[in-house]
Amino acid sequence: MFSKRFEKETFKQTVKDNIRTLYRKTIEEATPQQLFQAVSYAVKDVIFDDWFATQKAYDEADAKTVYYMSMEFLMGRALGNNLINMTVYKDVKEALDEMGIDLNVIEDQEPDAALGNGGLGRLAACFLDSLATLNYPAYGCGIRYRYGMFKQKIENGYQKEVPDDWLREGNPFELRREEYAKEVRFGGNIRFEKDPATGKDIFIQENYESVLAIPYDMPIVGYGNHVVNTLRVWDAKAITDFKLDEFDRGNYHKAVEQENLAKLIVDVLYPNDNHYSGKELRLKQQYFFISASLQALIAKYKKKHDDVRKLYEKVVIQMNDTHPTVAVPELMRLLIDQEGLNWEEAWDVTTKTCAYTNHTIMAEALEKWPIDLFSRLLPRIYQIVQEIDRRFLIKVREMYPGNEHKVKKMAILMDGQVRMANMAIIAGFSVNGVARLHTDILKTQQLRDFYEMMPEKFNNKTNGITQRRFLAHGNPLLADWITDKIGDGWITDLSQIAKLKPYVEDETARREFMEIKYKNKVRLAKYIKEHNGIDVDPRSIFDVQVKRLHEYKRQFLNILHIMYLYNQIKEHPEMSFYPRTFIFGAKAAAGYLRAKETIKLINSVAEVVNNDRSINGKLKVVFIEDYRVSNAELIFAAADVSEQISTASKEASGTGNMKFMLNGAPTLGTMDGANVEIVQEVGAENAFIFGLSSEEVINYENNGGYNPQDIYFNDWELKRVVDQLMDGTYSHGDHNMYKNLYNSLLNTQSTDKADMYFILKDFRSYADAQKRVEEAYRDQQRWSRMAMMQTACCGKFSSDRTIEEYVADIWHLEKVEVPSGQEE
């Protein structure tokens, strides 16, 4: 039905038939959710044909495959994106229109697949989209969490977490593959024997608990190329095949325990972004999906190949941060204990197969498992880690004789902990950072010793985003306009978007561009009215900060500045001030006190400011509830200003910054992460840069910080804002509501360093940059040039470019052409 030409009438009939067979209803009687299911099943049918054709083509080509191992895949919704990539979105929209069905309403019925926290998980999702679009054989491997990222409710200004029951209505875009189930074992003890025949050591795990891992496959549709790759997420089920004897209490208890273990393992995504929590269950999750994925990949390899010593010729494993690093010793275990390789052979395979991406320099994100926990849960894996460590330290001592300082810093096992990053670097053949600045900081600071010992492993892969979801789907008005001007090549080759540059000097084009922005602001204003009950004026500047709530991202700086502006407007009502709408969206990890207090502060400032009639609507503050991929698409399209204000050196890359740029919003930001490269592409005159540089920050940090009191007592306007945290202005007179935030700045109670994130230090510089934003916006000709330049210069930031770099430097894959799976 979608084959050569979209067959509208067939499609309409299929939807009708689906409604009838699934629900015994007519189109008119069906609920929107039922229509979503019916439409999805019609689409799924076509996808599945291409899916099997793709796997067949890969099989025949015997192509090398990348396995992207990740605890997170922040996919968002599938239906609209699949239609875009199948290049039938408009046809389907039209067909449904004729049936009196609004595709947008249908899309809104789909829950987001929120199997991730933030940037790291969304990056994985963008990579899968690009891999499929670029014809590369790839699997995403992860966990099918029963509950994904929590839903955020705002009650009385506070965040409340509600479980995300995303599978409640069933997921039309998944396929359960019971036939590929794998057993995964935990705990117990290792018995050591010598094989009497061969004299080889054998290791037998005893008294363990085990679960059965069941894969669910989700199709990843490439753009217009009939490629459908696979995201394989594992569910857990108890193994119940041993005989349950009613007199055998041991067995019974074990059965119940395994039942519980299975349920618990895949129950919920840990809601921490950039923070390690050290929970045993989290390590179980990691080992669970890694062991299952590796068993499956080896089994698949062995179907066509008999020498597992050459696994690396057909398989490459990318470890998305340290979370999947247990892949290193697990691959060693499978190769040695199951496949009969000796240590040297197994190490050769493992170190030619595994590569590692680092996503942060934040110390609190580093995974360091307590050895007692690690060895109890994974006894055989621990033995292997010990041996990897032992052999590595021999090399270190060879290279740096007498330098025990190096040993201490580089060992995997140290001070009772297993340091996962060290293992990933030692075993990986590639170590990459995610933006130029980030990689440079890794080489010269965080990972300096490793870089000096093995410089050839280190490389940079600046992140990217998919223009298919964040422009073609999220901003259809702009997408059509661009295609009108330069053709649709940008959809699969974003470098072509530079062809817009000449239009920057075309006044009509600029007006059209700004009219589209305005329409998108109206669309967002409507969403805000419906979901937050707040009226915002689409003619005001939409100044947006959407991302996870974290101290280093400095939402606190943003809201303090809003408090400062409010004081100014109140004090100088005659002062000219361009109306501004500050928009926030952010989830805080459930146990992160300061982050939660920041959300409350934003909402309290919003309440005061939005209800103060004396300021004539000059200032509005909106906190968008439950920020997630689906509403992000609306938000980026409507933004005027992109807030990227992390403390320099802390944001490894950022990817939201690129989504704003793509949609024509200039960056107001620090020289951090990929902001640096954005400024390079768009020109310093088209960005609003402020604050300490990363060198300055690192310098202060190496010298014990700075003294915020010096600023506090010398800047009375800023002091007044800080004092307002404690004087009840934004708390109905409660003097304690923001005490944790207040203390974090001035360190009157806190155990941390005062103002660790340089908020007071950067405040004036930020306020100045905000002034420059206002000046620029007042000049609508200048602003429209600047806005268009963002879109015209964002070519570098496609995840297609990023993936091509991974392929060229790390993965070495070949493209496979796939015929349509539909009979023509």
Nearer to ligand Z15, 273 or 640 (CB): 273
Minimum Å gap between C-beta 654 and ligand Z15 is: 5
Nearer to ligand Z15, 332 or 652 (CB): 652
Sorted by sequence, the CB contacts under 8 Å of residue 720 that are 6+ apart come out as 567
- Binding mask 458-497 toward ligand Z15 (x if CB under 6 A, else -) reads -----x----------------------------------
Give the residue, chosen from 111, 222, 329, 654, that forms a contact with ligand Z15 under the rule CB under 6 A.
Answer: 654
Nearer to ligand Z15, 463 or 604 (CB): 463
354 phi/psi in degrees, rounded to 5:
-100, 135
581 touches ligand Z15 (CB under 6 A): no
694 is written with which tokens? 């990363």
Nearer to ligand Z15, 107 or 321 (CB): 321
653 touches ligand Z15 (CB under 6 A): yes
Give the residue, chosen from 76, 80, 111, 118, that forms a contact with ligand Z15 under the rule CB under 6 A.
Answer: 118
Of 61, 70, 177, residue with least CA distance to 123: 70
Minimum Å gap between C-beta 84 and ligand Z15 is: 23
Residues 317-376 interacting with ligand Z15 (rule: CB under 6 A):
321, 359-360, 365
- Distance, in Å, from the CA atom of 643 to the CA atom of 661, rounded to the nearest integer, reads 11
Nearer to ligand Z15, 120 or 583 (CB): 120
413 - beta bridge partners?
418
Of 352, 268, 778, 339, residue with least CA distance to 540: 778
Active-site positions?
A: 359, 547-548, 553, 655, 659
Q: Choose one: 119-127, 171-179, 281-289, 807-815; the region binding ligand Z15 (CB under 6 A).
A: 119-127
Give the residue, chosen from 215, 464, 673, 821, that forms a contact with ligand Z15 under the rule CB under 6 A.
Answer: 673
DSSP category for residue 798: B
Other C-beta atoms closer than 10 Å to the C-beta of 720 total 14
285 touches ligand Z15 (CB under 6 A): no
- Distance, in Å, from the CA atom of 447 to the CA atom of 449, rounded to the nearest integer, reads 6
Nearer to ligand Z15, 157 or 654 (CB): 654
Give the residue, chosen from 123, 211, 212, 624, that forms a contact with ligand Z15 under the rule CB under 6 A.
Answer: 123
Residues 421-460 interacting with ligand Z15 (rule: CB under 6 A):
434
168 class by beta-carbon count within 10 Å (0-12 exposed, 13-18 middle, 19+ buried): exposed
Other C-beta atoms closer than 10 Å to the C-beta of 402 total 7
Minimum Å gap between C-beta 16 and ligand Z15 is: 43
In one-letter notation, the amino acid at residue 546 is V
Nearer to ligand Z15, 324 or 664 (CB): 324
Minimum Å gap between C-beta 439 and ligand Z15 is: 12
Q: Please state at what angle helix 280-304 crosses helix 249-265, rounded to 10 degrees.
A: 90
Annotate 716-776 with DSSP letters as a single string. HHHHHHHHHTTSSTTTTT-SSTTHHHHHHHH-SS-SSPTTTT-HHHHHHHHHHHHHHHHHH
Shortest-Cβ-distance residue relative to ligand Z15: 119
393 is written with which tokens? 């330290």
In one-letter notation, the amino acid at residue 304 is K
- Distance, in Å, from the CA atom of 326 to the CA atom of 284, rounded to the nearest integer, reads 10
- Distance, in Å, from the CA atom of 488 to the CA atom of 512, rounded to the nearest integer, reads 18
Give the residue, chosen from 120, 141, 491, 792, that forms a contact with ligand Z15 under the rule CB under 6 A.
Answer: 120
Minimum Å gap between C-beta 325 and ligand Z15 is: 12
The answer to whether the CB of 622 falls within 8 A of the CB of 528 is: yes
Give the residue, chosen from 14, 70, 159, 274, that forms a contact with ligand Z15 under the rule CB under 6 A.
Answer: 274
Of 430, 428, 343, residue with least CA distance to 383: 343
Nearer to ligand Z15, 120 or 269 (CB): 120
Give the residue, chosen from 54, 286, 353, 655, that forms a contact with ligand Z15 under the rule CB under 6 A.
Answer: 655
Q: Which residues bind ligand Z15 (CB under 6 A)?
A: 117-120, 123, 273-274, 321, 359-360, 365, 434, 463, 651-655, 673
